[in-house]
A and B are shown apart, each in its own frame.
Chain A
Amino acid sequence: MKVIVNHDACEGHAKCQAAAPAVFEVREDDLSYVLVDEVPEDQVENVEKAIRLCPRAAIAWAKES
């Protein structure tokens, strides 16, 4: 599964990085970047937490294309 961060909404609160540091990284520009192409099985729960805790609701699973 792929996860995406909507950069129109992201404001660098870094809750995602705290919840799933292996998946998200907030950089100098105050935006969160996804570090992996596919989210590994053992990170799914952390990503779910990041989605839930993002104050800006900026994170979502990518829709299967």
Chain B
Amino acid sequence: MTTADTAPLTLDQINLAYPDLFEQGRHHEAFKILRREDPIHWNEGTEEIKGFWNVVRYDDVVAVSRRPDIWSSERGIVGSEPRDEQEAVLAANGNGKMLITMDPPRHVRLRRLVNKGFTPRAVASWESHISEITKGVLDDIAPKGQVDFVTEVAALIPLAVICEIMGVPKSDWKLMFQLTNKVLGGGDPEYQTDVPEEQRGTVEAARTTVNIGTMQMFGYFAQLLQQKKAEPGDDLISTLIASEIDGDKLTDEDILWFCFLLILAGNETTRNAMSGGLLALFNHPDQRKKLQDDMSLLPSAVEEMLRYVSPVTHMARTALQDTEIGGVKMKKGDRIIMWYPSANRDEKYFPNGDVFDITRSPNDHIAFGLGEHFCLGAGFARLEIRVLFQQLLTRFPDIRQAGPEQRLRSNFIGGIKHLPVEFTPAK
């Protein structure tokens, strides 16, 4: 490591278009500087990408989230826009077609087709089943005493739940894990298995990985869709097949984009909240002891994990008209990126925000976003995390870190790829 890597960051060194600061774990340092010195910060573009505004304060993120009529999702919600025309078209492929990249009024109608399956009441009815799934996963690791918490625990629970909700058969769950890694983790060389080894780690390799993963995902769901049409089940895909908006059935393409979104959103996010949450407990033994001494603190601890980890780091928006944020004028067409890990440590709402405090109150974090695009699966995420830690800390009270964690190279998902843990084996 050179001196430049360890010297304190300065404003002019901050460029959030690239995953470097995230991979180095220095993003919070960058966000703190931005909140203090330039909370609506113009991020210069490059030859490859257009410039954008970084929005880092809680109030500003909330204000943008409350105005989907001004701040559109239809020009993409991830990162900055490519300059290259062809690449921009490719990147915009799913825009306007998924809930997450759709504006009102269509977003309102499409979300209403499915949101009854995600209300607190609906989620609560899954608790005993999610407990069973979790118990099964922990049964499998119990005799081992040493595992990779990410791939053997945290990845498997949300994967099982979202696959069951959607009606993906168990024989295909492993494939879903591999494909979601390619699509959302495509920038990380570990998942660039379709690219010759010497080319891994490049921008080109990332793009190829994401594209191949996306095509394979669509191919898979196109087949599953035909099966569900022939034999409808009690699952979300079958519900979508039977659904209508204003008398019109959804097209196959509509349903495939829905599947694509749900499998990604249901997998990567909760996985990283769990892994990041456990790591936070490892790194804060006092908080961990407090929790294990009094497990009634768990719901509050889950909220603090969500705030502290903020697994989805950003959403991008594009201005549909001239407007302003935090007193800074923006032009129609300007791109902004809202940074959730920053909003969730904003000094105004979270005193000592860098401190992991499982009894924090109030804790009105926005790890799930807010408003029109509030995370549809938030209730499932909360329940899955709570059930996991309830069982994990009860069955393996001495669980500890057994090696360094490996972070995902991404500025979109605050991810952990591997987290070796050990514990006293049990039956």
Contacts and interface: CB of A to CB of B under 8 A. Distances in A.
A30 interface: yes
Given A55-B374, A55-B378, A56-B371, A8 B119 contact: no
Contacts of B28: none
A53 interface: yes
Interface residues of B, number: 18
Contacts of A9: 108, 371-372
Contacts of A30: 116, 119-122
A2 interface: no
A14 B120 contact: yes
Interface residues of A, number: 12
A11 B118 contact: yes
Contacts of B374: 11, 55-57
A14 to B, nearest CB: 7
B260 to A, nearest CB: 22
B368 A55 contact: yes
Interface string B203-227: 0000000000000000000000000
A12 B121 contact: yes
Interface string B348-367: 00000000000000001000
Contact of B371 (A8, A12, A53, A57): A57
Contacts, number: 36
A5 to B, nearest CB: 14
Contacts of B421: none
Contacts of A55: 368, 370-371, 374, 378
A55 B116 CA distance: 16
Q: Is the interface of B mostly helix, strand, loop or mixed?
A: helix
Contacts of A13: 120
A8 B370 contact: no
A56 B65 CA distance: 10
Nearest to B373: A56
A1 B130 CA distance: 44
Interface string A1-42: 000000011011110000000000000001000000000000
Contact of A57 (B119, B121, B364, B370): B370
A30 B123 CA distance: 12
B112 interface: yes
B115 interface: yes
Given A8-B112, A9-B108, A9-B372, A57 B118 contact: no
B229 interface: no
Nearest to B366: A55
The residue among A12, A13, A14, A52 with the most chain B CB atoms within 10 A of its own CB is A12
A14 B364 CA distance: 14
A11 B119 contact: yes
24 contacts: A8-B108, A9-B371, A11-B115, A11-B374, A12-B120, A12-B121, A13-B120, A14-B120, A30-B116, A30-B119, A30-B120, A30-B122, A55-B370, A55-B371, A55-B374, A55-B378, A56-B370, A56-B371, A56-B372, A57-B65, A57-B66, A57-B370, A57-B372, A57-B374
Given A12-B119, A55-B368, A55-B371, 13 more contacts: A9-B108, A11-B118, A11-B119, A11-B374, A12-B121, A13-B120, A14-B120, A30-B116, A30-B122, A52-B364, A53-B364, A56-B370, A56-B371
